Amino acid sequence: MKIASLLSGIIQGFVGASALLSGAYMIVFPSGGPLGLPLEMLKGSPFAGFFWPGVLLFVIIGFGHAAAAVMTFRRLVVRGLAGAVMGIGLQIWIFVQVNMIGGGHWLQFLYFALGTAEVALAVLILLLRDAARSPGR
């Protein structure tokens, strides 16, 4: 369970840090300039600029993953549940993003894969925790 928790915490920390940084850039530069995000990407979405997507990315994905990483590295009993929730949340984030602005960018594949790995590790952590609690094992 130590290796699964370590890998989970690393993924959560990486996703959290990158979402906090990217979200902050989107909030400060809603035109998308420094990140190379053209406003045309948002055509067909409910957003005119990157400010609100940046707020959502910063708060939900960034803070959420950072909090999950802290729970995981502190080996709190809720770390498996936190990892599952945040991994599924990341997958939903990418799914919605692809449906709103289109897909195919390598970062979308990477972050969806990280969300999938996060969910798989969370399930493993939960299963190992339950196995350790079961009498006679």
Do the beta carbons of residue 94 and residue 111 sit within 8 Å? Answer: yes
Q: How many helices (H) and strands (E) does the chain have?
A: 5, 0
Q: What is the pLDDT of residue 98?
A: 94
Cβ proximity of 108 and 66 under 8 Å: no
Q: What is the mean pLDDT of each run of 10 residues along the chain (137 residues)?
A: 94 98 96 88 91 97 98 96 98 95 92 98 92 70
Phi/psi class of residue 76: alpha, beta or left (left: φ > 0; alpha: ψ in -120 to 50)? beta
> What's this model's pTM, rounded to 2 decimal places?
0.91
Task: Say which residues have a Cβ less than 8 Å from residue 44's Cβ, sequence separation at least 6.
Answer: 100, 101
Instruction: Give residue 44's pLDDT.
Output: 85
Predicted pLDDT at 131 = 81
